[in-house]
Amino acid sequence: MGGRHSAADAPPRRRDRRRRALRRRSTAARLLSGVLVLAAAAVLGTAAVRLLDPPARVSAATTAASAPPQATATRGDSTAGAPSSLRAVQALLDARAAALLRRDQGAWDAAVAPEAAVTAAARPALDAYRSRTREVFDRLAPVPLGTWSWQVTGSGPALSAERGQQLPAGSWVARTTLVWSVTGAGEDPVRRQQDLTVVPSGDGWAVADDADGQTVPDLWDLAPVQVVTSPRAVVVGTASRAELDRAAQLTTTAARAVDAVWGTAWPRSTVVEVPADQAQVARLLGRSDDAGLDQIAAVTTGELVGGSGATRGDHVVVNPRGFGQLAPLGQQVVLTHELTHVATRSSATRAVPLWLSEGFADWVGYRGTGLSEQSVAADLAARVRAGRAPQALPTADDFDPTKTSDVGPAYSSAWLAVTALAGRYGDDSVVALYRAASTEPGDGDADTALDAALASVLGTDRAAVLRLWRAELAGLAG
C-alpha cells in the first residue's frame, strides 16, 4: 500500500541489540541492585488511570454533572446547594484562593467557620480542620505557586446521619475541583477533586471540614515540603533535600532525551513529586493502602478528560521505595519513561492501547543505553525459553500491580513490540504512528484508532504487528 511493505511480507530486520537499558529482575539485577520492575505509569497511564480510578483524578468535566443538591434546608430565598448557594460558596473560595496567593493568613483563615457557627459536638472536627488548613498555608510558603483556585462543580455526597446531627441545619458538602500550578513547570495546571463541608455562617457560608466526602491529598497536606527547581523540573517533596536534588538532575537529563525523539512541542518543564515513603505515594494516588506499589518506581498522574481517555495536568510521582533501589542508570530510564508520557499526552486527544503507551515510553527510555534485548527483556526471555511465551500483546490487567504479582513481562512485551516496529519501519515512523493513534478523530475505541493509524502511517495492520512481535519473541529464546 503506497509502496510500503507490510510486516507480513518481509522477514524482520535485526536491530542493533546494544540499545535500550535496564530493568526488571534476573540479569538486569546488576543495574537494579537485584530488585524491582521499572513499572512506569502503571497506576495512571492514559488507560491505567481507569484501573485504580482515584477519585481526585476524575475530570472536572465529569464532576460538573454532579447529583442534585443533597441538603434541603433553606437560607432565605435559596436552597443549600442550589445555584445561588453554589455562587456564594464559589465567591468564598475565590477570596480564600486570593488570600493564599498574596500570603494573607488572616484572610485565608476567615473562610473557616467560627466555633459559634457549629454545634458543640462538631467543634472537635472543626478545630482539627482549622489546624490542618493552617498547616497547609504554612507548608505552601516555599512552593512557587503560579495559580490556585477552586471550581465549585455541584454538591457532593450527603452528610452522614451523625454529621447531619452534629452540624447546623442547611449544612452540605460542596464538590469542588482544586486547580493549582507552579511557576516554571508546564502550561497545564494540576486538578483534583476536593469535597468541602460548608455550613451557614452569617449571611453566607463557611468551610467546616474536608473529610465528609472524597478528597485526595497533595504532598503539602501530608507533611512539610521542600522545593528544588531545575531548567526542566520543579521538584516538590517531603523526602530529603538530597533526593530532591537528584530527581531534579535526572529529570533535566530525561527531558533532553525525550526532546531528541518527540521534539520540543510539549511542556518543557514538569512537576515532579518525591514523597518521603510509599505510604504517602498511596495517598497521593487515592489508594487506601500501598498493595502492589512495590513494583512501581514512579508514575505519571493526570486528570482524565471526559470519556476520551486523554489526560491533562500530568505530573510525575516518584515512589521512593522502588526508585531508591534502582542504580543510577535505572533511575534515569524511569524518569525518561515518565517524561515520555508527559510529552505524548500533552498533545493527545484520545487514549492509545496501553501496550503502545508503555512500550513507546520504554522504547524512548532505553534508547542509547547499551544493553542487549536479552538483558532488557530478561524476564520475558525466561518465559519464552520455558515454553510460556505470551500469545497476545499485554492487556490493561497485565500492567495492573493490583492484579498480578509481576508486571515486568508486560512491560517487556510492550517494549519488544515497539522495538520491533522501529526495527522494521524506522524510528521516525514509530513516532508518527504514535502521534496518529493518539489524535485519530472519531468516536472509536483505542484499538480502532490504532488500526487506522497503522494503515495510514505504516501500511500494515494489527495482525501483521502480532506476527512481527511473535518473531521477536522467538528470537529471545536464543
Q: What is the pLDDT of residues 134-192, one digit of tens each?
A: 999 999 999 999 999 999 999 999 999 999 999 999 999 999 999 999 998 877 899 98
pLDDT number for residue 439:
94
How far are the Cα atoms of 209, 364, 376, 386 from residue 381, in angstroms, in the given order?
A: 53, 21, 9, 9
pLDDT higher than 90, residue 241 = yes
Average pLDDT on 356-360 reads 97
Q: How much helix, strand and coil, in percent to the nearest 5, is found in the chain?
A: 45, 15, 40
pLDDT number for residue 216:
85
**Sequence-ordered list of residues with C-beta below 8 angstroms from that of 47, at least 6 positions apart, any chain:** 309, 351, 352, 353, 354, 357, 396, 446
**Sequence-ordered list of residues with C-beta below 8 angstroms from that of 244, at least 6 positions apart, any chain:** 226, 227, 228, 235, 237, 274
**At 47, is the pLDDT very low, low, confident or very high (cuts 50, 70, 90)?**
very low
pLDDT number for residue 13:
37
pLDDT number for residue 80:
56
pLDDT number for residue 121:
94
pLDDT number for residue 294:
86
As a whole number of angstroms, the distance between CA 478 and CA 441 comes to: 42
pLDDT higher than 80, residue 415 = yes
As a whole number of angstroms, the distance between CA 334 and CA 289 comes to: 23
**At 44, is the pLDDT very low, low, confident or very high (cuts 50, 70, 90)?**
very low
pLDDT higher than 60, residue 95 = yes
As a whole number of angstroms, the distance between CA 412 and CA 382 comes to: 11
pLDDT higher than 60, residue 42 = no
Please tell me the pTM assigned to this model: 0.82
pLDDT higher than 70, residue 65 = no
Quickly count: other Cβ atoms within 10 Å of residue 77's Cβ: 7
Instruction: Tell me which amino acid residue 8 is.
Output: A
Average pLDDT on 24-53 reads 29
Kindly report the CATH number that applies to the domain delimited by 57-215: 3.10.450.50
Nearest residue to 199 (alpha-carbon basis) of 164, 172, 178, 237: 172
HSE-CB for 77 with a 13 A CA cutoff: 0
pLDDT number for residue 43:
30
pLDDT number for residue 269:
92
As a whole number of angstroms, the distance between CA 446 and CA 73 comes to: 46
Q: Is 206 exposed, middle or buried (0-12, 13-18, 19+ CB in 10 A)?
A: buried
pLDDT number for residue 258:
97
pLDDT number for residue 295:
84
Nearest residue to 312 (alpha-carbon basis) of 344, 280, 284, 359: 344
pLDDT higher than 60, residue 399 = yes
pLDDT number for residue 303:
83
Topology alike, domains 26-54+223-476 and 57-215: no
Average pLDDT on 278-299 reads 90
Nearest residue to 405 (alpha-carbon basis) of 289, 254, 291: 291
pLDDT number for residue 462:
96
CB 234 within 8 A of CB 272: yes
pLDDT higher than 60, residue 66 = no
Average pLDDT on 74-79 reads 40
Q: Which residues pair with 151 in a beta bridge?
A: 177
pLDDT higher than 60, residue 67 = no
Query: Which range in 22-26, 61-65, 282-286, 450-454 is most confidently predicted, on average pLDDT?
Result: 450-454
Instruction: Tell me which amino acid residue 95 is.
Output: A
**At 371, is the pLDDT very low, low, confident or very high (cuts 50, 70, 90)?**
confident
Greater model confidence, 377 or 308: 377
Segments making up each domain of the chain, as ranges: 26-54+223-476, 57-215
pLDDT higher than 50, residue 62 = no
Domain 26-54+223-476 class? mainly alpha
pLDDT number for residue 442:
82
Average pLDDT on 212-241 reads 95
pLDDT higher than 50, residue 32 = no
Q: Which residues pair with 196 in a beta bridge?
A: 174
**429-443 pLDDT tens trace:** 999 999 999 999 988
pLDDT higher than 70, residue 46 = no
pLDDT higher than 90, residue 416 = yes
As a whole number of angstroms, the distance between CA 423 and CA 29 comes to: 26
Average pLDDT on 90-94 reads 98
**Sequence-ordered list of residues with C-beta below 8 angstroms from that of 167, at least 6 positions apart, any chain:** 118, 119, 122, 159, 197, 199, 208
pLDDT number for residue 370:
87
pLDDT number for residue 79:
52
pLDDT number for residue 81:
60
As a whole number of angstroms, the distance between CA 149 and CA 196 comes to: 14
